[in-house]
């Protein structure tokens, strides 16, 4: 019989992810947490009874939950170019490397909301079989989009209500946990206009009804104000980006507080993807190369600050935000999920602890895995990450993982990968 394990650290997140328990130990039995107790309370013969890992002067928090990845994309190559030119085999190899990067950065739960079906489900099978390292994964498989719509080159094209409903069923059959729809065009698809909706609210609603019947959540990408309105009316569970672009490129943002109020009343969540934006802003400031913007936004008077200002208004109106980096797109590397928390603090006015909780407990609840992960409590899966220093003092430490524990097993120790 294998011994139980004990992980001790100078700072361990409390059960609500609102403060530290100093010098505590997480006792793990198999893949689950048995207890979280003061180091002083451990039995004197602890080393005989348990496999003890003293992690030292680190901050031990629940493993990060990131609700937005595209596993076969690259943060350096344009998605359109990459996915239309690389072979499936190459995309699969890229995916395996990407999800390992995410895991070693501290992401132990990853939701992929748009990757080719041939890749996504096989990669998850390989992780589950133990062939390759990776986080536990919730998958959408291909996004559902219109013909020539956003991400058509790795999506399922479905135009009518009947086609969309069939596409939802097809994803369920393949093993999807969640459905992804493209409610508007997007930035890197030449044939899709990010300023206009791709589907009427009635078609999105039909997809929501079908996804709910099949016990899946449904999320939708939206950059246009009318796209947000359609998603809110349709009852989409999570809105991705939720920008407020006007159909006319010369116009400012078309922010609509009435729609935000409905969104909050409906209990819908938003992934604002500002972690990704923060990395882009920092790259630009450092003089690093950037991809050219989509023609539909290049000529726009809307600035980055305008987008942040509307998101802050949404936060003040009590919109609940999930952490999703949009890994693989534009400038969002798989190892940088901690930037979500940084952006929540630097851009959206969160306290450090609110941002840490959003990155763990909050997003775990939003994607309906909160019974298993997201906090360090007895009965939960022992997914944990230790961070350098104290992220409640300096949120940048969310990007400085030292040790990663997945299902009770170390996959990274003292900064060195073990997988």
Site residues, Zn ion (CB under 5 A): 326
For Zn ion, which is the closer residue by CB, 101 or 326? 326
Give min distance, CB of 114 to Zn ion, in A. 6
- Six token digits for residue 128: 């589950």
Angle in degrees, 0-180, between the axes of helices 117-128 and 88-105, rounded to the nearest 10: 50
Tokens of residue 230, six digits = 């359609």
Tell me which residue has its CB nearest to Zn ion.
326
Our CA dihedral for 147, 151, 156, 160, rounded to 10 degrees, sits at -40
Based on the number of CB atoms within 10 Å of its own CB, is 105 exposed (0-12), middle (13-18) or buried (19 or more)?
Answer: buried
Q: Check if the beta carbon of residue 6 is closer than 8 Å to that of residue 51.
A: yes
Shortest distance, position 221 Cβ to Zn ion, whole Å: 6
DSSP assignment letter at 292: P
DSSP string, 122-179: HHHHHHHTTSS---EEEE--SPEE-TT-TTGGGSEE--SHHHHHHHHHHHHHHT-SEE
In the complex, minimum distance from the CB of residue 329 to Zn ion, in angstroms, rounded to a whole number = 5
Q: Which is nearer to Zn ion, 189 or 397 (CB)?
A: 189
- Least distance (Å) between residue 113 CB and Zn ion: 6
Closest CA to 254 of 181, 200, 207, 197: 197
Token digits of residue 233: 């009316």
Question: 326 or 383: whose CB is closer to Zn ion?
Answer: 326
Give the burial string for 107-143 (b: 16+ CB within 10 Å, else e).
bbbbbbbbbbbbbbbebbebbeeeebbbbbbbbbbbb
Pick 254 or 326: Cβ nearer Zn ion? 326
Give the rounded distance of the alpha carbon of 390 from its chain centre.
22
In the bound state with Zn ion, the residue whose beta carbon lies nearer, of 223 and 357, is: 223
Min separation Cβ 240 and Zn ion, Å: 6
Strands 50-62 and 217-224: unpaired
Residue (75 or 206) nearer to Zn ion, CB: 75
CB of 70 to Zn ion, least distance (A): 6
Smallest gap from residue 276 Cβ to Zn ion (A):
9
* Closer to Zn ion by Cβ: residue 75 or 384: 75
Look-up of token digits 């952490």:
323
* Distance in Å from the first CA to the final CA of the chain: 24
Q: Decide: 196 and 166 in contact? Cβ < 8 Å.
A: no
CB of 180 to Zn ion, least distance (A): 8
- In the complex, the smallest distance separating the C-beta of residue 144 from Zn ion, rounded to whole angstroms, is 14
Nearer to Zn ion, 210 or 326 (CB): 326
Q: Cα–Cα distance between 268 and 355 in angstroms, integer? A: 19
DSSP, residue by residue, 245-268: E-SSTTS-----HHHHHHHHHHT-
Give Cα separations from 410 to 62, 273, 327, 385 (angstroms): 14, 29, 24, 10
Q: How far is the CB of 5 from Zn ion (least distance, A)?
A: 36
* Shortest distance, position 326 Cβ to Zn ion, whole Å: 4
Give the residue with the Cβ less far from Zn ion, 113 or 208.
Answer: 113
C-beta closer to Zn ion: residue 61 or 102: 102
User: Which neighbouring-strand residues pair with 327?
Assistant: 69
Query: Is the CB of 91 or the CB of 385 nearer to Zn ion?
Result: 91
């Amino acid at each position: 019989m294998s011994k139980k394990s004990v992980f001790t650290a100078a700072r361990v997140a409390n059960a609500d992810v609102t403060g530290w328990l100093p010098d505590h130990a997480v006792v793990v039995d198999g893949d689950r947490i048995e207890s979280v107790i003061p180091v002083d309370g451990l039995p004197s013969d602890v080393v005989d009874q348990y496999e003890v890992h003293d992690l030292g002067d680190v901050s031990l928090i629940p493993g990060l939950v990131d609700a937005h990845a595209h596993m076969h994309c690259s943060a350096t190559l344009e998605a359109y170019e990459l996915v239309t030119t690389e072979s499936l085999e190459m995309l699969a190899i890229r995916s395996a490397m990407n999800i390992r990067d995410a895991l070693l950065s501290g992401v132990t739960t990853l939701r992929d909301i748009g990757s080719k079906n041939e890749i996504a489900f096989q990669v998850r099978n390989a992780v589950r079989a133990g062939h390759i390292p990776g986080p536990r994964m919730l998958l959408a498989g291909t996004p559902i989009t219109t013909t020539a719509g956003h991400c058509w080159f790795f999506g399922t094209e479905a135009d009518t209500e009947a086609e969309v409903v069939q596409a939802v069923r097809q994803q369920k059959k393949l093993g999807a946990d969640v459905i992804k729809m493209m409610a508007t065009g997007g930035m890197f698809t030449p044939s899709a206009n990010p300023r206009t909706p791709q589907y009427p609210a009635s078609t999105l609603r039909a997809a929501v009804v079908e996804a709910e019947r099949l016990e899946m959540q449904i999320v939708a990408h939206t950059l246009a104000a009318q796209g947000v309105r359609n998603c809110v009316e349709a009852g989409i569970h999570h809105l991705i980006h939720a920008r407020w672009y006007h159909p006319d490129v010369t116009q400012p943002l078309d922010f609509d507080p009435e729609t935000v109020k409905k969104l909050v009343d409906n209990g819908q969540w938003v992934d604002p993807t500002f972690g990704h934006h923060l990395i882009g802003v920092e790259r630009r400031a450092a003089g690093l190369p950037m991809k050219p913007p989509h023609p539909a936004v290049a000529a726009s008077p809307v600035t980055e600050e305008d987008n942040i200002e509307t998101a802050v208004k949404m936060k003040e109106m009590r919109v609940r935000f999930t952490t999703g980096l949009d890994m693989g797109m534009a400038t969002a590397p798989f190892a940088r999920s901690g930037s979500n928390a940084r952006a929540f603090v630097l851009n959206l006015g969160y306290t450090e602890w609110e941002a840490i909780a959003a990155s763990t407990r909050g997003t775990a609840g939003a994607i309906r895995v909160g019974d298993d992960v997201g906090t360090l409590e007895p009965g939960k899966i022992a997914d944990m990450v230790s961070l350098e220093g104290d992220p409640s003092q300096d949120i940048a430490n969310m990007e400085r993982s030292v040790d990663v524990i997945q299902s009770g097993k170390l996959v990274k120790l003292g900064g060195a990968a073990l997988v």
